[in-house]
Structure 1
Amino acid sequence: MNPSLQLQDRLNRRIFLKSSSSAIGAAALGSLLQDEARAASPTRFFPNFAPKAKRIIYLFQSGAPSQMDLFDPKPQMEKHRAEDLPASIRQGQRLTTMTSGQKAFPVAPSIFKFAQHGQGGIWLSELWPHLSTVADEMCVIRSMFTEAINHDPAITFCQTGSQLAGRPSIGAWLSYGLGSANHDLPAYVVMTSFGTGRRDDQPLYDRLWGSGFLPTQHQGVRFRNSGDPVLYLSNPAGVDRPMRRQMLDELAALNQRDFESFGDPETAARISQYEMAFRMQMSVPDLVDTSKEPQHVLDSYGPDVKKPGTYAANCLLARRLAERDVRCIQLFHMGWDHHGGLPNAIRGQCRDTDQPTAALIKDLKQRGLLDDTLIVWGGEFGRTIYSQGTLTATNYGRDHHPRCYSLFMAGAGVKKGTTYGETDDYSYNIVRDPVHVHDLNATLMHLLGINHERLNYKFQGLDMRLTGIAGNVVKGVLA
């Protein structure tokens, strides 16, 4: 195009945007500031029906926990120890490059004992001494499956409904659809922690809690593990709160003029985020100050609860966030990628997560919050029954396995003390009640009062949604 015509085109657009947006800019901005977690859209009316849950705490176990060592006992495998995995079980399914070159696939039965717990008789590994005490609150799904075989696309798929980066995370969708229930805290908060001795595990990326093509105000706010939980929470030297307020007012006026001139919704989102940051300067210090927590509560979460950035400390903060009606709280715990040395490594991971997870469930229940809080615990895929590398009597490793894995849910709307789905004798294929990742996400949204087929956002000419064109609510796990 001729440069002069390009300039004229840009000017025409600017004039159009200014004339059309100046009349609605103030109204749109005012609506945004009344509830910055909701984007102005006449097509979104959520919740669609009375929700069972007001909030969700998603305890994501990054690296893929081994289902047959934790939730899916296969004691009959002991008689097949070190035998090659039968071709009839594998059925020609794909392998990762890490084991595709192995000449044999020796069956590696779990060395851990299982027992039934609670009135529902849920089978749990001996690695869960604390979690077993809340078995009657749990619904274990043994028949999860996914489409990805490597960590990054699998985690991205769990969180965004797509293996490719760039889509909104589940927390961003919930923020967009339901808005915030707390004026002084974000609708979506994220915390991360490392497993004991596993700081070299699969990395996590900010896009896992990003907003994708949704307005950026819906992205997760990550709390840091040291220093101020949020960057720039403290005012710089020489700046007090009235001075910060004056600066934000002047900045908001400039941004509003920009919004009226160009109509860019991200300008409105920016004003919203500045205002939220200002309010968080007051709300976050109180949130993270656990000094007034009763000692028996601190003790219930375990010895690491006073160490910032640990899974235990994050579980306690998750309860405090739930008390303050934060819509989506997500904890990412790394360290479950056990290709070798699994028995010792998984013991460490369970020591990290067992007691704090059980304490969180009990703490919420004692405060009357479990009735309207949904808890999810699980990773991105499962592990193979065969050993990756050398198999010994007490040591083995397991490769990635997307065909079946286990997770559990608890809390609002969940059928308590139950096990859903079944795998074959080798925990390699699903034989009853398969649950796809899209099905899980559809179910989570259903419990929060959202019809997943109606929570859409127009992007690149398509009505996009978390579950794509798939996903069914798993009615068998609902109370």
Structure 2
Amino acid sequence: MTCHQFTSATTRRSMLQTSAAGFGQVALAALAGQQATAADGGTAASAPLPHYPARAKRVIFLFMWGGPSHVDLFDPKPRLNSEDGKPLAGKSVGSARENLGTLLGSPFQFDQHGDSGIWISELFPKLARHADKMCVIRSMHTEGNAHGEALLRLHTGQASLVRPSVGAWVSYGLGCESDSLPAFLTISPPRGHGGVQNYGSAFLPARHQGTAIGSAEIPISKAVVSNLGNNRIGSGLQRKQLDLIQSLNRQHLQQTTIDKNIEGLIANYELAFRMQSTMPQIMNLADESKATLDLYGIDSEPTDNFGRQCLLARKFAESGVRYIQVSTDYTWDHHNAVVKGSVGESAKVDRPIAGLLQDLDQRGLLEDTLVVWGSEFGRTPMVENGDGRNHHPQGFTMWMAGGGAKPGLTYGSTDEFGYAPVENPVHMHDLHATILHALGLDHERLTYRHAGRDFRLTDVYGNVVHDVLT
């Protein structure tokens, strides 16, 4: 084949129509053009090695989209209950406002669980059995009263500019343990409140962007990875076409100076080809035992959908993916009917999350897999719309398990109403720094030079919370 065979518009179109990826290859070439080289001077991660010994090899982030109510799930407040229906004076919780609203107590029973005595609501009975694996952080706080801003801060550290997501930074710093899977996968990601920015790579090389499986509104049983396969031609012909394209790429590379864009393009083509066989095998749950399916609540309601997502997360973790996000639908935003909503949403995720922790533990994976549970913010201790709670970034709860998280620990606390941290506050930047630290990455050294400055996930903020790590 010679170049002059494709000089006419007609034959060029024919070449694109009959090639393995068609216009997708044109798009991939455009992506390759966006890939930048690593920063000079060695300040960026230039090799897939941690800065120091890692406690965790990978992260599974369980994202509860919408903002669960911490005072109904993990942060019991007897005074909030005893003063239900009374006004909350701002001065009592450090706010400049005279009256913050009317207090709304929680109707749910809290009990201490495990040898550690961690307080967990009756809404999570199966998760409560794993209390001694959990490190509960009750003093989280962030900025952003709107979902869009808060989601971007949770996923990228910033909301004012387009920044790489946490998973992209992990991929950039550590690479992937598998040569046939991406380093960063997001299962059923949100399409709103930042959309693809929540798993994007921004100015990092494009290969570090998260690979999405479906979206939050699509049942995971029907979700696919877009443009993964080509049903028109077999893998043998695809391999021949790819070999031809790769030979041209390598020839061009030999004729130029070192070009990271071309090298990245070659690697991306090969990964995409291998994913065609690897991804469908992992996403097929037919090889899992009935006991495992039951453990996650698969084929049962209301746990089937989230159970499938959590089982996929375990399978991808087992296969070498570094960062896996699992997301609920936008169903935790309880401006109305917070009691009814909390009951319903907890029932969907309690059994799958407990199953995930048990399954990881049984397989010896929990020791080096950091599981993180949380959301963009919590809910107010004050009532809204008669039976709901409003957005509340001032104070909320997240928890971790495995992968270096100190088991059986409750860290930090909010005031008697659950309004704001009063002991050991943990900002979102601190959480990001701590997650990176568990992976062996120094958040101050994991940088990338862009637009004349070194960027990092935590910007100029963040402190590792060593007390929550083993």
Common fold by TM > 0.5: yes
Aligned counterpart, 2:212: 222
Which stretch of the first structure deviates more once superposed, 332-341 or 134-143? 332-341
Instruction: Give the Å deviation of 1:90.
Output: 5.2
- Aligned mates of 2:301, 2:104 — CA distance in 1: 38
What's the CA shift for 1:148? 1.5
Residues 303 and 351 in structure 2, CA contact (< 8 A), matched pair in contact too: no
- Asked whether the 8 Å contact 1:139–1:416 carries over to 2, the reply is yes
Distance 1:312 1:226, change over 3 A: closer
What residue number does 2:144 align with? 148
Matched residue, 2:126: 130
Structure 1: how far apart are the matches of 2:252 and 2:39? 18
Cα 1:109/1:457, change in 2 over 3 Å: same
The Cα shift of 1:86 comes to 1.1
Q: Which amino acid aligns with 2:324?
A: I
Which consecutive residues of structure 1, in runs of 5 or more, have no partner in the other structure?
1-35, 95-99, 195-200, 391-395
Distance 1:93 1:210 in 2: 38
CA-CA distance at 1:325 after TM superposition:
1.6
2:232 corresponds to 1:243: no
Distance 2:239 2:134 in 1: 46
Shift of 1:218: 0.4
Separation in 1 of the partners of 2:100 and 2:461?
A: 37
Q: Shift of residue 427 of structure 1?
A: 0.5
Partner of 1:162: 158
Contact 2:149 2:193 (C-alpha < 8 Å) held by counterparts:
no
Determine if the alignment matches structure 1 residue 207 to structure 2 residue 223. no
- Distance apart, 1:308 and its partner CA: 11
What residue in structure 1 maps to residue 377 of structure 2? 381
Instruction: Name the structure 1 match of 2:104.
Output: 108
Using the TM superposition, give the Cα deviation of residue 268 of structure 1 relative to its aligned residue in structure 2, in angstroms: 3.8
After TM superposition, give the deviation of residue 247 of structure 1 in Å.
1.6
* 1:305 to 1:230, Cα distance in 2 relative to 1, 3 A: farther
Give the Cα separation in 1 of the matches to 2:438 and 2:238.
40
**How far apart are residue 41 of structure 1 and its match?**
7.2
Is the contact between residue 305 and residue 313 of structure 1 (CA under 8 Å) also seen in structure 2? no
- The one of 402, 413, 417 aligned to 2:408: 417
**Aligned pair partner of 1:353 in 349, 352, 359:** 349
Code of the residue aligned with 2:51 in structure 1: it is N
Match of 1:460 among 451, 455, 461: 451
Q: Is the 8 A contact 1:171 1:209 kept in 2?
A: yes
Aligned-partner SS, 2:454: strand
Secondary structure of 1:409's partner? strand
Q: CA deviation at 1:228?
A: 6.4
1:2-151 equivalences under 5 Å are 43=42, 44=45, 46-89=49-92, 91-92=94-95, 105-151=101-147
* Cα offsets for 1:432-461 (capped at 9, x unmatched): 000011100100000000111100000111
Are 1:180 and 2:176 counterparts?
A: yes
CA distance in 2 between counterparts of 1:86 and 1:210 reads 42
Gaps of 5+ in 2: 1-34, 215-219
> Following the alignment from structure 2 to structure 1, what is the Cα–Cα distance between the partners of residues 380 and 303?
34
Q: Distance in 1 between matches of 2:298 and 2:315?
A: 18
Query: Quick one: distance in 2 between partners of 1:306 and 1:116?
Result: 28
Cα distance in 2 for residues equivalent to 1:307 and 1:256: 51
Task: Quote how far apart the aligned CAs of 1:389 are.
Answer: 2.0
- Rounded to whole Å, the distance in 2 between the matches of 1:308 and 1:389 is 29
Q: Hey, what's the Cα distance between the residues in 1 that align with 2:242 and 2:460?
A: 42
- Report the Cα distance in structure 1 between the residues aligned to 2:225 and 2:306, rounded to whole angstroms: 18
C-alpha separation between the residues in 2 aligned to 1:398 and 1:358? 26
Query: How much identity, in percent, do the aligned residues show?
Result: 42
**How many Å apart are 1:478 and its aligned residue?**
1.0
**In terms of mean alpha carbon deviation, does 38-47 or 417-426 score higher?**
38-47
Partners of 1:475 and 1:90 lie apart in 2 by 27
What residue in structure 1 maps to residue 440 of structure 2? 449
TM-score normalised per structure 2: 0.85
Instruction: Compare 125-134 and 145-154 and name the one that shifted more.
Output: 145-154
**Any idea what the Cα deviations from partners look like across 1:132-189, whole Å, max 9, x if unmatched?**
0100100000000002211111110111111125110011001111111001111111
Is residue 172–residue 219 contact of structure 1 (8 Å, CA) maintained in 2? yes
Per-residue CA deviations over 1:40-80 (Å, capped at 9, x if unaligned) read: 97723530111010111011111111100000000222221
- TM-score normalised by length of structure 1: 0.83
Give the aligned residue type for 2:188: T
* Worse overlay, 57-66 or 253-262: 253-262
